[in-house]
Chains A and B, each alone.
Chain A
Amino acid sequence: MKARRRVVTGSAASVKRRPTVRKIKPAIAPVARRASSSASAGSAATARSAASAAARPEPSLPAAPIDLAVDLGRGLVLGNPILVASGTFGYGIEYGDVVDVQRLGAICCKGTTLRPRIGNPTPRVTETPGGMLNSIGLQNPGVDAVVEKYASTWAGWQVPVIVNVAGESIGDYVEVVRRLDGVPGVAGIELNISCPNVGAGGIQFAIDANAAGAVTAAVRRATDLPLLVKLSPNVADVRPIARAIADGGADALTAVNTLSGIAVAPSRARPLLGNVYGGLSGPAIKPVALRIVYEVTQVVDIPVIAIGGVAELADVLDYLAVGAVAAQVGTAIFADPGLPVRLIGELADECRGRGLDSYRPLIGTALPKRAAPPSARGVEYRP
């Protein structure tokens, strides 16, 4: 509870956003200006929605402050529920010329491992109908280089940076997280557990409830940083795994990672990707991700962040309806780098249009009405 209260003082962070607000102020109607100065928590949202309202030909309603803040636990409070997904936004600096990164809810950085990795042979990416396959192979300079190169930049940002962590053993994960613990600029950890557990015959942590729970618990003991764990969709039933991770002490879940797939080279002589297997992302996987979020939100009581094919506001609203508290944008950034920031304004407008002062009433509206034990329906349709 005490941590929650600190969250309120943490919203003083949004007071720091005032310079941004001032810049946009001329576009805000006088009514809205009064409203934004009275409610500091929603001030950034006000500025955003007012700016987007001004961009539209017919501004509908006077901009009211909409509360878009998301509490992920352990003091990690995001200004809004739109995050950018690991692997699609680098370390947050690459898109700096064309995206106002400070307005994002949070940035999940590229997967980081203990030692540097050169990644997989090329080709590493290919487009597929409504999506893309990637097999980057976790190319990254290693945790020490990441901290040295980027952490001081992140520390000066108002947008929280969540470091995505990958490893081949529980020891790897723990060591990486130890080195990130207490580093200014690191706001949280997102565990990528869709990696082979080398010590246990190369079985992915994410497909085994015991391994997933164990790695979560081990990392939990190593750090007080907010801990997110990313679920894999490549499992028969994700619910026991989600429960194990929640029991292991994760603060939030991210659902889902990419779906495993392959493509064939145009010559038909071999698979296309250098690593043969790739991860499918993009609009093509949204129904699968939606199903998993729907199942997971009914069996855990920690927040779930949805990810999978978000390309427009309707996708965000769908994920909120099945119980997610926030959404990550990934593949769509490649086509439309401005999308995540635009979604924030559109979400505020959506709330305003429905007469809401917070986006929270949109969460869980499509879940079964009674808090019933999870249904087994649909299981037979799974591959």
Chain B
Amino acid sequence: MRLGGAQLLDSREILPGQWLQAYLAPDLVAGARAGQFVHVRTGDYSGLVLRRPFSYNTIDPLAGTLTIHFRTVGRGTAWFTQLRPGDRIDMLGPLGRPFEVDPRSRHLLLVAGGLGIAGVRALADEAIRDGRQVTLLFGAATAREVYPSSLLPDEVEYVVATDDGSVGHHGFVTDLVPEYEAWADQAFACGPLPMLRTLSNLAATRRQRLGVASLGRKRGAGRPLAPGSPQARKKAFLQVSMEQNMGCAVGACLGCVVMTTSGTPQRVCREGPVFAAEEIAWEGGW
């Protein structure tokens, strides 16, 4: 975790109300991995007292640049759209635990709902760099909100679903999953809670339905993996990036927790934002 300056290089409205911004921030890029996030300070403390968390949308370690992708939902996000190239802002990062890909996984299924694309986008780059095959299933309300394929690496197979059927599959993105789940070695998802819950239900019954082997330990090797540990997550078929209102983003305020099956709330900013789907208590449980 480092506190560093970031200089805006480029700011574009890629979709109505959705912005893509590139920052030069070598301190924040070094060592950052897909699934982690930065906590960014707005310049207006008198009104906006909290930083804003953004996933690393893309990470370029050689150039020292990162991009963030966000929707303007309030005064905070609107403030970021007012920035001009050359402006400097203050970022805290890299924060949280990244996606963990099992070294044996060849085929990765990425599932994104709407702005959830920002959570898994960097993983596509990482996976292709490591020579894996990537299919990205993307769901949006209408064609107007579909993430432009030109912003994805050429190697990614990109499948779109829209709620109104204006492009691609007519229905939810989760409808597309059964077609790919046998192909996929692991799946990674980010998006609205109902989407993640549906995916989790699919993943939970996957072994029985498909008769596939789960990525387990070598026979007889050591102690069982501690739930929630990076090693255990590495073996999980479905990993989800969770969202929650956030305060400090370093684990101090306990504002951004999710309830887990262990009965103890876990911090999205510290133990997350990436969790194995089976760690999350999807029905709450408070």
A residues within 8 Å of B by Cβ?
87-90, 94-95, 97-98, 110, 118-127, 129-132, 134, 136, 139, 274, 282-283, 311, 331-338
Contacts and interface: CB of A to CB of B under 8 A. Distances in A.
A94 B254 CA distance: 11
Interface residues of B, number: 35
Contacts of B2: 97-98
B253 A337 contact: no
Contact of B244 (A88, A95, A122, A132): A122
Contact of B255 (A118, A134, A282): A134
Contacts of B257: 119, 122, 124, 139
A337 B3 contact: yes
A134 B252 contact: no
B26 interface: no
Contacts of B92: 98, 337
Contacts of A124: 245, 254-257
Nearest to B269: A94
A334 B48 contact: no
B47 A125 contact: no
Interface of B: 1-3, 41-42, 45-51, 76, 92, 244-259, 263-265, 284, 286
Contacts of A136: 253-255
B72 to A, nearest CB: 14
B245 A88 contact: no
A335 B252 contact: no
Contacts of B50: 125, 127, 132, 334-335
Of the listed residues B42, B47, B50, the one surrounded by the most CB atoms of chain A closer than 10 A to its CB is: B50
Given A95-B250, A97-B1, A134-B247, A125 B255 contact: yes
A127 B49 contact: yes
A334 B51 contact: yes
Of the listed residues B251, B255, B258, the one surrounded by the most CB atoms of chain A closer than 10 A to its CB is: B255
B51 A87 contact: no
Contact of B254 (A130, A139, A331): A139
A118 B264 contact: yes
A129 B75 CA distance: 10
A193 to B, nearest CB: 21
